[in-house]
A and B are shown apart, each in its own frame.
Chain A
Amino acid sequence: MLRSAFTAFFRSFIRHPLYALLNLLGLSFGIAVFITLSLFYRFETSYENWSPERPHIYEMGTRYHFPGMTEDVFMSAMGGLTEEIKTAYPQIESTRDWSNPVIVHKGAEVYNEQIELVDGNFLTFFGVPMLYGDAATALADPSKVVLSVSMARKYFGTVNAVGRIMTLNDEEGLKTYTVSAIIADLPKNTDTKLDMLRLLTPQRTAMEPYTWHNWGSGQLEAYFRFKTPADASAFARQLPAFTDRQIGQKFGTDVTPHKILELVLVPWADKHLIDPKLKAAIISLGVVGIVALVLALINYVNLATARAGLRAREVAVRKTLGAPPATLRLQFLVEALLTMLLAFLVALSLVELSLPLINSAGGLFLKLDYQTDITWLLSVLGIVLAAGLLAALYPAFALAAFKPAQVLASSRTPGGGRMAGFLRVGLAMVQFAAVAVAFVLIMGFMLQIQHIQNADIGFQRDNLMIVQSIRDNAVSQAQRESFIAAARTLPGVSHAAIANAIPGDQSTSNSSNIVRPGQVDSPTLSPTVNWSIVGEDYFQLLGAKVLVGRVFDAQRGEDQKWADDGAGDKSRVYSVVISRRAAKDMGFASPQAALNQPARFNDHQVRIIGVVEDMRFYNPNQPIPPKLYLFDVHASYAVVGMVRYQGLSEPKMREQLRKLWRQIAPDVPFDVTSAADNLDTYYKPERDRTHLFTIGAGIAALIGCIGLYGMAAFNTGRRVREIGVRKVLGASAGQVVGLLLVQFLLPVALASLIAWPLGWLALQRWLMQFDDAIAMPLWIFPVASVVALLIALVTVAGVAFGAARTEPGKALRHE
């Protein structure tokens, strides 16, 4: 019996290549999209899987409840938090990871790297995979450094670099360290960067007197380990009371501290997708994968039921020969399973071939590893086969239910009755509705992406270089100032300035309350502004629009901010510039109304000397924060340099700056980025996901076309005799084509109408995540429908013309 099923399966491939190809390709494309997006989904949801301790580890995050601040959880903790927790709860296990910049000396060369300052238990806490050295003792001594395989190769040309000496220059100065262990390179799906680690020492801690135990600051990542989730929940429940005890009245007498600063214990496994928008985006792509598979299966059902009609005679013959319906159903299910299996193999090859392209289009690192992924692959195969079997049930039952006497008596191919006809049209409509929704979304996404990339973001993002090296601790104030002064004289440079408000860089972010006279001074009620220190020429360099008043002037002494050491004159009034949004948050009716108004800010009297337009420095998904600028004519704070240039290429500008840097600070590695590249880190993920979506939706559209073509071919095949009769009665080829096209395209046109509300809802939801979203572009709906119709038209036109050209005599003999 099975052999007969195999034979029938194999023969139908050989004898009906078009049907087999349509069926196989449709299924394979659908399964390939499903596999790829499953890989993507798995990649995104299995972050930190490298650690065997993943289920037990939690990270402390902070949520700030200030007016004007987002309610997002910031995944950083105060440096001394774990110390305070250890005192109150000695049984709680914790560790810390503080990323610091470091300069590595290798002979005469210097390199910028990132070093993790960690607690001594870090390696055992996470179960970090060790290649050489002992996890328990590798970090016991402050003179030791642990390297990843890549770092060992980079600096020593070998993996086993244990015992080798490394010269590092970081906040604790230029020192030598001995390599004590080598750890494996972590996989790509991790937010934990472990390239170089050393012990977090009391000396280093002592260098942060203002922030280490300053509740509200966030420097590092603090991790906790619990045996069970119940233990973690029990600890989390104690955090509000703990926060209140530790902060006491530091935030004011009338506030409950945990209502302003909420400690949030986040399961480490959930950290990567803690942003609900990102999570929603990942889930949507997962949904696209499922939709593609469903479309492919719909295709299969459509083609299989259509073909069932053509196989009716075979079924009738088998039945007269005594085949019980159950055996026939089994035969068709076996054929379906074989088809799915073959399609799965083709899909795997398609995935292998397309992964490099998908990875580059989506900015991904997906790969299929048949050794480690075998269980996963088998479960995906299981899902595909189970879904395929479910889809094959209908055609199998429909086929086995044919009445042999009727089939054998009729010369016409049975179509499976009115029910099957409706089903086919219904399924084709579902497919094309999905295709039209996909078109609506693709167009909507592209318009939005284009909008945020070209939108007026309040400053000129092109031809702007950001010199990161200026903030290196090894650079002196004199070096900073002379670099900026010299940069201004370089050919092509129009402005150079220093500031700690940098496009695309949120590493130095400060927020404080600002209080106008007569307003309540309270952390929970007073407006909060995000503040930055900027140098001379800053606003001119950015091309910021001054709405009212003026910007800072180095010649005016009152513009200079107070000294950081607390020695500033508290009776003086300092100049500040604010943004439009800050003026609004502070309660001014207009920017004009804010001009020259006094306020209290960080314990000092300030006066608003000007209001500038909002500038979008960060994520386009997030609102532009209210901004306050202080002026520092000296480059005394942790700032970066910015250089505006014209009339020469970016590489040439980089080269000029590099040469200049070499002259002024040869011991510090030169690090420069462009503002456009910096900003692109916010735009790229969205763009990448849109690319992925477009590929997935495009293939779904292709599957829809394959299905429509199959249906057209089948229906036309069934109507050959009718076409012959019509032609005998005098119908022209054009009339026949018109008749067939209307039959095929009507469901597609109706599907478009279903697609409009669905597409509108989906696009609306997606656009809601952007702070600066386009208005719903209504024209894309008819365009999506017209495109879907055109594709359908091209797909079925060939079949319709072919049928219309058939000679009537031949058509009438057709059986």
Chain B
Amino acid sequence: MTNLIELQNITRLYRSDEVETTALHNISLHIKRGEFVAIMGPSGCGKSTLLNILGTIDRPTAGAYLFDGADLAKMSEKNLAKHRARHLGFIFQSFNLVDDLTIYENIELGLLYRGGIKGGRRQAIEGAMDKVGIAHRARHFPHQLSGGQQQRAAIARAIVGQPDLILADEPTGNLDTENGAQVMEILKSLNKAGATIIMVTHSQSHADQASRQVDILDGQLVASVAQVL
């Protein structure tokens, strides 16, 4: 399989008035198309920063980020926005659904900035809702749903545009065991269907379900182990 992502010596520094913090130091990482990578590490180790850089909502201080061969580090904000719309899907720990929009409209947001989609918008949304089993809640508002349902809706929003890469930041962190397991099942089935997934997690049992586990400690890559599922 070809490399979808190549990170070369990625460093991210945060500077405030007097303090300089190194969030990531010299990280190099290759991820192939169709991989399901779990990123693990203690709180504050830089997992989320790495995921944000992969998601292009944060820029590395140094290093190169190649996505499907294209160098993203040099891309303009406008083109990065286009890149996110076309190629990426995000899933957050706290769901981040827009309160004022219905579930259907929230999922539609995933297509809003993307441009055309094969088979039409409505079918794509309905298809995404069916995949995560949330179709019956289409007209509800986020606050009317349980946490598990909200996260499933958020997953539908992430996959509706058929992205090349799904980035999940502790997707089960706010859920109980049962709902967490459901979400993991959905992610695995998406991966089976061909999606590349990068997931940050604290849960070893969830990380074990990925095809590769990457460990980070104090901003540095300490292990990258392929797992037999």
Which residues on A are within 8 Å of B, measured CB to CB? 1, 4, 7-8, 11-12, 15, 313-314, 316-327, 403-405, 408-409
Contact B82 A322 (CB under 8 A): yes
Central interface residue in B55, B84, B92, B100, by most chain A CB within 10 Å: B100
CA separation between A1 and B99, bound complex, in Å? 18
Contact B98 A317 (CB under 8 A): yes
Does chain A have a CB within 8 A of B46? no
CA separation between A324 and B81, bound complex, in Å? 5
Known contacts A320-B90, A323-B112; decide if A409 and B105 are in contact (CB<8 Å). no
Which residues of chain A are within 8 angstroms of B90 by Cβ–Cβ distance? 317, 320-321
Which residues of chain B are within 8 angstroms of A313 by Cβ–Cβ distance? 96
Contact A317 B96 (CB under 8 A): yes
Nearest-Cβ distance from residue B73 to partner chain A, whole angstroms: 15
Chain B residue nearest to A815 (CB atoms) is: B94
Nearest-Cβ distance from residue A430 to partner chain B, whole angstroms: 30
Does chain A have a CB within 8 A of B58? yes
Nearest-Cβ distance from residue A790 to partner chain B, whole angstroms: 36
Does chain A have a CB within 8 A of B77? yes
Known contacts A316-B96, A408-B96; decide if A322 and B101 are in contact (CB<8 Å). no
Nearest-Cβ distance from residue B88 to partner chain A, whole angstroms: 8
Interface residues on chain B, number (Cβ under 8 Å): 29
Checking A8, A324, A403 against B100 with a beta-carbon cut-off of 8 angstroms, the contacting residue is: A8
Which residues of chain B are within 8 angstroms of A316 by Cβ–Cβ distance? 57, 96
Which residues on B are within 8 Å of A, measured CB to CB? 48, 52, 55, 57-58, 77-78, 81-86, 88, 90, 92, 96-101, 105, 109-110, 112-114, 157
Known contacts A318-B109, A321-B113; decide if A408 and B92 are in contact (CB<8 Å). yes
Which residues of chain B are within 8 angstroms of A1 by Cβ–Cβ distance? 112
Q: What would 30 A/B residue contacts be, using CB atoms closer than 8 Å?
A: A4-B105, A8-B100, A8-B101, A15-B100, A314-B99, A314-B100, A316-B57, A317-B90, A317-B97, A317-B109, A318-B113, A320-B55, A320-B88, A321-B84, A321-B109, A321-B112, A322-B85, A323-B81, A323-B112, A324-B81, A324-B82, A325-B77, A325-B78, A326-B78, A403-B57, A403-B58, A404-B57, A405-B58, A408-B57, A408-B96
Central interface residue in A1, A4, A408, by most chain B CB within 10 Å: A408
Which residues of chain A are within 8 angstroms of B101 by Cβ–Cβ distance? 7-8, 11
Instruction: Classify the interface of chain A: helix, strand, loop or mixed.
Output: helix
Known contacts A404-B57, A408-B92, A409-B48; decide if A322 and B86 are in contact (CB<8 Å). yes
Contact B81 A322 (CB under 8 A): yes
Chain B residue nearest to A322 (CB atoms) is: B85
Which residues of chain B are within 8 angstroms of A319 by Cβ–Cβ distance? 57, 81, 84
Contact B113 A327 (CB under 8 A): yes
Chain A residue nearest to B58 (CB atoms) is: A405
Nearest-Cβ distance from residue B111 to partner chain A, whole angstroms: 9
CA separation between A325 and B78, bound complex, in Å? 8
Which residues of chain B are within 8 angstroms of A7 by Cβ–Cβ distance? 100-101, 105
Which residues of chain B are within 8 angstroms of A327 by Cβ–Cβ distance? 113
Known contacts A8-B100, A409-B48; decide if A323 and B77 are in contact (CB<8 Å). no
CA separation between A12 and B99, bound complex, in Å? 9
Nearest-Cβ distance from residue B110 to partner chain A, whole angstroms: 6
Checking A11, A12, A317, A324 against B78 with a beta-carbon cut-off of 8 angstroms, the contacting residue is: A324
Chain A residue nearest to B114 (CB atoms) is: A322
Which residues of chain B are within 8 angstroms of A403 by Cβ–Cβ distance? 57-58
CA separation between A322 and B158, bound complex, in Å? 11
Which residues of chain B are within 8 angstroms of A12 by Cβ–Cβ distance? 100
Known contacts A4-B112, A404-B57; decide if A320 and B48 are in contact (CB<8 Å). no
Known contacts A15-B100, A325-B77, A408-B92; decide if A320 and B57 are in contact (CB<8 Å). yes
Contact A324 B98 (CB under 8 A): no
Which residues of chain A are within 8 angstroms of B92 by Cβ–Cβ distance? 408
CA separation between A318 and B81, bound complex, in Å? 10
Contact A323 B113 (CB under 8 A): yes
Chain A residue nearest to B92 (CB atoms) is: A408
Which residues of chain A are within 8 angstroms of B55 by Cβ–Cβ distance? 320
Central interface residue in B57, B77, B83, by most chain A CB within 10 Å: B57
Chain B residue nearest to A15 (CB atoms) is: B100
Which residues of chain B are within 8 angstroms of A8 by Cβ–Cβ distance? 100-101
Query: 18 extra interchain contacts, Cβ-Cβ under 8 A, other than A316-B57, A320-B88, A403-B57?
Result: A4-B105, A4-B112, A7-B100, A7-B101, A8-B100, A11-B101, A314-B99, A314-B100, A318-B113, A319-B57, A319-B81, A322-B114, A323-B81, A324-B78, A325-B81, A327-B113, A404-B57, A409-B48
Which residues of chain A are within 8 angstroms of B109 by Cβ–Cβ distance? 4, 317-318, 321
CA separation between A347 and B109, bound complex, in Å? 34
Central interface residue in B86, B92, B97, B98, by most chain A CB within 10 Å: B98
Chain A residue nearest to B53 (CB atoms) is: A405
Chain B residue nearest to A310 (CB atoms) is: B99
Nearest-Cβ distance from residue A724 to partner chain B, whole angstroms: 19
Chain B residue nearest to A318 (CB atoms) is: B109
Central interface residue in A313, A318, A326, A405, by most chain B CB within 10 Å: A405
Chain B residue nearest to A12 (CB atoms) is: B100
Chain A residue nearest to B109 (CB atoms) is: A321
CA separation between A11 and B106, bound complex, in Å? 13
CA separation between A236 and B213, bound complex, in Å? 96
CA separation between A405 and B60, bound complex, in Å? 13
CA separation between A409 and B82, bound complex, in Å? 22
Which residues of chain A are within 8 angstroms of B78 by Cβ–Cβ distance? 324-326
CA separation between A384 and B72, bound complex, in Å? 43
CA separation between A323 and B114, bound complex, in Å? 8
Checking A4, A15, A325, A409 against B99 with a beta-carbon cut-off of 8 angstroms, the contacting residue is: A15
Nearest-Cβ distance from residue A374 to partner chain B, whole angstroms: 35
Which residues of chain B are within 8 angstroms of A15 by Cβ–Cβ distance? 99-100
CA separation between A404 and B167, bound complex, in Å? 14
Contact A322 B83 (CB under 8 A): yes
Contact A314 B98 (CB under 8 A): yes
Contact A321 B110 (CB under 8 A): yes
Contact A322 B113 (CB under 8 A): yes
Chain B residue nearest to A314 (CB atoms) is: B98
Chain B residue nearest to A323 (CB atoms) is: B113
Central interface residue in A1, A7, A314, A317, by most chain B CB within 10 Å: A317
Which residues of chain A are within 8 angstroms of B85 by Cβ–Cβ distance? 321-323
| Top 8 A-B residue pairs of the complex, sorted by shortest distance between their CB atoms | A322-B85, A11-B100, A322-B84, A324-B81, A322-B113, A405-B58, A405-B52, A404-B57
Nearest-Cβ distance from residue A434 to partner chain B, whole angstroms: 33
CA separation between A322 and B160, bound complex, in Å? 13
CA separation between A317 and B57, bound complex, in Å? 10
Which residues of chain B are within 8 angstroms of A325 by Cβ–Cβ distance? 77-78, 81
Which residues of chain A are within 8 angstroms of B52 by Cβ–Cβ distance? 405, 409
Which residues of chain A are within 8 angstroms of B114 by Cβ–Cβ distance? 322
Chain B residue nearest to A316 (CB atoms) is: B96
